[in-house]
Structure 1
Amino acid sequence: MGPKRVSATGENRIKKRIPRNAPALWNLGAKDIDVLFHDGRLSASETYENGFDSPAEEWLPDGLESILAAQAIFPLVAQFEMAGNPKENEIAGAVHDRIDAAWPIIAKRVRTIPEYGAMFTKFFENVSKPEDVTIAHIANALAAFMAIEWQSVDTRYDQFLLGDDSALTAQEKRGLALFDGKANCSSCHSGALLSDQKFHALAVPPFGPGRTRGFDPMVRDVGHMGESNDVNDAYRFRTPMLRNVTLTAPYGHNGAFATLEGIIRHHLDPVSSFAAWDKAQTNLVPVPEIEHVDFAIWDNPRELQKVAQKIDIEPISLTDSEIADLLAFLHSLTGTKSVTDPVFGVPETVPSGLEVIK
């Protein structure tokens, strides 16, 4: 696991890549967030009575207290995250029938572990006995944990906003001026979240299995169009939040750029960056037997042309010195105590008895 991971062998070898780069967890508990995932497939909405527009549609369970709680239950039933393949286990088989069929099974597994059952009874007012625990209680607990553990509002930039002029260096202040001015970063990375929560096309070089609509015959990633079914949303992805951005490489919805400087330079001139992009910038774990799938889209000139031509931002010219200033400012968005001294940290043991990997 982690950045040093390698492909296993035999039955445990990597057979397929995860479709996208995992979004960062920082500040997902913010009450202003109303849309999640790169393509926006989960949003606060009145489309369904449960209050969310999601892949589960009307089958999303009741009782979810936030959009983060709604998000928390989808990895549990995602084939390439936790559920596994059909016929491989009970959860995967249930998901294959219908997405909501697996959540009661998962909830039962959790509540029948005595220590978990006791904790839910203690901390949830509407749980009088372990048998009352539903997937919504588990999701709300997961959301509360994520909101607390990955809250970052103690960056030097935050201190600067609170009036401490010495919190930023002269170079970082120049970078902030570029961020809000000439570089035009704040037109999308705006507000307290440093994200407008909207969708933009940047011509990020495509690779990997991607995510698209179920009937799509090709390997590609259509972005927000996969959720909206509006062709105008093709190749548009949600603006990420930026606190702790220096800690969350790689960059882009698919991780096309291994470095922060790489994605910054791409923003400045997407056309030239796309043309010059090399697959080595992905920094993928080498798996020779699936490499032909990793970059299969590059054998489709028509699709590449469509990605390359869909650009919502204007090119901007910055000197190397200005780019260095901008990078310096982005480093000021790294949290201090929130990063070095998390509230909970890694536990020594967990009630399930499963191994804790540190």
Structure 2
Amino acid sequence: MKKRSFLLTLKLAALTNLFFATSSIAAFKDVKFELGRALFFDKVLSGNKNISCATCHHPDLASGDAVALSIGEGGSGLGDERVLSFGKRAPRNAPALFNLRLMDDYPIFFDGRVEEVAGSNGFIASPAKDLLPEGLEDILSVQALFPLLSAVEMAGQKGSNEIADAAAKDDKVKAWNIVVNRVKNIDGYMSLFQEVYPSVKSKNDLGIQHIANALAHYEDKGYRAVDSPYDRYKEGDLTALNFEAKKGMKLFYGKAKCSQCHTGKFQTDGKFYNLAIPPVGPGKEKGLGGKEDFGRELVTKKRSDRYKFRTPTLRNVVLTGPWGHNGIFQTLEQVIDHHLNPEESLFNFNFNSFLYLDDEDPGHTVFDMTFVKENILTNHDLPRVELNHQEKGYLIEFLYALTDLNPLPREVLIPESVPSGLPVKD
């Protein structure tokens, strides 16, 4: 039986309290948000109509799924109760959605495969290259297109449905068109699209860009984290942080060197680093047996970018575990200890303690090979820092102070039903 860490249990309890906050639901009226919310929870977008965006990015789980490596297509249930019936886990952790549009120069996905090219007057690089449709509003809309094409996320395996077959042939446009055809033949959707987009006068006017823009709007408006104790402190409320959090903030921006990468308003520089994180998971079809994940190198094709992953924002970080691009860390204490001494952490990591070594998951592979670890350590980017137990406690207290105090209530974020009539609940 899987066991939750103490911090994960605490996280879920805190999140439940946050999203049951009492605020005026009636005051929140936004038809584009309602459209995006319906699409976000509607399984009709998936190849086999059995998974939605919300399955791996659920409001009750801090816009993630509370597991290390997501179970998308082929699973049932939600969060750490979700089980894999066939297929394999996703190779990476499901990233949280907080503040993505507010960080407009922030690359999307752990490897940054969707990013605005510097000095390009807004050109967005992506796996679709020149196949992106016109009318996408920004980088957040672009990212919404790609989970639809992933066999382990939403498309399904080749041979199981026509979206999966098109995606397996790398025919992105055909796969997106099939999704559009499904949606435009649902009357409840067309009325919403026509209200939100005046240019959509008939079914023939609906495009995948409209679906992506609505999804991005929901993600933006639904998952903002800008009212933390830290924010209130920065705005002049000197009582917003307690003594321990202030000590932690001083360490964060000083001795602990966290702010070398976790900088700016949302504690991220948006850049890519090799943190020598213990390798687990099915991998990305690279390296030993096709089971390694080379990270940023998969995008840039540069050997110097191997094992580098994007710096995450730390907003709501205490709610968004497990941590790391592969969810290897179950507590914030583990994360901090690894950053302080990556060599010791990597070579002494107890892979048997990893919570997701389930026999029923045929795609899950754990690496415990010395030469792989040595390769990862060769060019890691973490400075050596020494902190005592009390100082680490202060750091964690500061991380708690980055938690938003006024999120939207779950009644706003989760629809009662969706136009397709498919079940909202996983």
TM-score between the two structures when normalised by the length of structure 2: 0.78
Classify 1:32/1:244 alpha carbon distance in 2 versus 1 (closer, same or farther; 3 Å). Answer: same
Q: Is the 8 A contact 1:255 1:282 kept in 2?
A: no
Q: Which residue does the alignment assign to 2:83?
A: 7
- SS of alignment partner, residue 4 of structure 1: helix
For structure 1, which segment, 204-213 or 156-165, has the greater mean C-alpha deviation from structure 2 after superposition?
Answer: 204-213
Cα shift at 1:211:
2.1
Question: Is 1:181 aligned with 2:257?
Answer: no
1:1-358 correspondence to structure 2 within 5 Å: 1-8=77-84, 13-45=85-117, 51-97=123-169, 98-212=171-285, 218-284=290-356, 286-288=358-360, 290=362, 293-295=364-366, 297-298=367-368, 300-338=369-407, 341-342=409-410, 344-357=412-425
- SS of alignment partner, residue 181 of structure 2: helix
Q: Is the 8 A contact 2:297 2:305 kept in 1?
A: yes
Amino acid paired to 1:229: K
Q: Is the 8 A contact 2:92 2:327 kept in 1?
A: yes
CA distance in 2, matches of 1:331, 1:31: 21
Deviations, residues 29-57 of structure 1 (Å, cap 9, x unaligned): 21533411111111113899992211111
CA distance in 2, matches of 1:31, 1:4: 29
For structure 1, which segment, 228-237 or 120-129, has the greater mean C-alpha deviation from structure 2 after superposition?
Answer: 120-129
TM-score between the two structures when normalised by the length of structure 1: 0.92
Amino acid paired to 2:358: P
Q: Is the 8 A contact 1:149 1:343 kept in 2?
A: no
Unaligned runs of 5+ in 1: none
CA distance in 1, matches of 2:122, 2:207: 15
Unaligned runs of 5+ in 2: 1-76
Query: How large is the Cα RMSD of the aligned pairs?
Result: 2.2
Q: Is the 8 A contact 1:48 1:58 kept in 2?
A: no
Cα shift at 1:281:
4.4
Cα shift at 1:4:
3.0
Higher relative contact order (CA 8 A, sep 6+): 2
Q: Is the 8 A contact 1:46 1:53 kept in 2?
A: no
CA distance in 2, matches of 1:255, 1:249: 7
CA distance in 2, matches of 1:165, 1:57: 48
How many aligned positions are there? 349
Q: Is the 8 A contact 2:296 2:306 kept in 1?
A: yes
CA distance in 1, matches of 2:376, 2:96: 24
- SS of alignment partner, residue 222 of structure 1: coil
Amino acid paired to 1:85: Q
CA distance in 1, matches of 2:253, 2:120: 38
Deviations, residues 318-340 of structure 1 (Å, cap 9, x unaligned): 0000000000000011111216x
For structure 1, which segment, 85-94 or 42-51, has the greater mean C-alpha deviation from structure 2 after superposition?
Answer: 42-51
Amino acid paired to 1:294: T
**Identity level (%):** 38
